[in-house]
Amino acid sequence: MQAAERRAEKKIKNEPWRDPHAEGYVRIENISKKFGDFVAVNNVTLKIFKGEIFCLLGGSGCGKSTLLRMMAGFESPTSGSIYLDGQDMAGVPPYERPVNMMFQSYALFPHMTVEKNIAFGLEQEKGLSRADIATRVTDILEIVKLSTFAARKPHQLSGGQRQRVALARSLVKRPKLLLLDEPLGALDKKLREATQFELINIQEQLGVTFIVVTHDQEEAMTLASRIGVMNRGEIVQIGTPTEIYEFPMTKFVADFIGSVNMFEGQLVEDLPDRARIKSEELGSSLIYIDHGISSAPSATVWTAIRPEKINILRGPPANTAENCAKGVVKEIAYMGDLSIYLVRIESGKTVRVTLPNVERMSDDERILWDETVWLTWHASSPVVVTQ
Helix ranges, 152-211 (H):
159-171, 189-206
| Residue 44, pLDDT score | 97
**Residues 249 and 236 sit within 8 Å (Cβ to Cβ):** yes
pTM of the predicted protein model: 0.90
Domain spans, the chain: 24-252, 259-385
d(CA 82, CA 92): 11
pLDDT, one tens digit for every residue, the chain (387 residues): 555 555 555 455 678 888 888 889 999 999 999 999 999 999 999 999 999 999 999 999 999 999 999 999 999 999 999 999 999 999 999 989 999 998 877 889 999 999 999 999 899 888 889 999 999 999 999 998 899 999 999 999 988 889 889 989 999 998 999 999 988 876 777 878 888 888 888 898 889 999 999 999 999 999 999 999 999 999 999 999 999 999 999 999 999 999 999 999 999 999 999 999 999 999 999 999 999 988 888 899 999 999 999 999 999 999 999 999 999 999 999 999 999 999 999 999 999 999 999 988 877 788 999 999 999 999 999 999 988
Which of the listed CATH numbers 3.60.15.10, 3.90.700.10, 3.50.50.60, 3.40.50.300 matches domain 24-252? 3.40.50.300
Largest CA distance in the chain: 77
CA-based torsion, 267, 271, 272, 278: positive or negative: negative
∠ CA(315), CA(316), CA(319), 5° rounding? Answer: 155
The architecture (CATH level 2) of 259-385 comes to Beta Barrel (2.40)
Alpha carbon 330 to its chain's center: 31
Q: What is the pLDDT of residue 4?
A: 52
**Secondary structure of residue 2 in the 3-state scheme:** coil
What is the length of the chain? Answer: 387
What confidence tens digit (pLDDT) does each residue in 278-318 have?
999 999 999 999 999 888 888 999 999 999 999 999 999 99
Contact partners, residue 54, CB within 8 Å, separation at least 6: 48, 209, 210, 211, 212, 224, 225, 226, 227, 228
Segment holding 343, helix H or strand E: strand 338-345
3-class state of residue 68 by DSSP: helix
Alpha carbon distance 314, 366 (integer Å): 10
pLDDT value of position 89 = 96
The strand pair at 324-334 and 226-231 is best described as: unpaired
- Whether the CB-CB separation of 354 and 340 falls below 8 Å is answered with yes
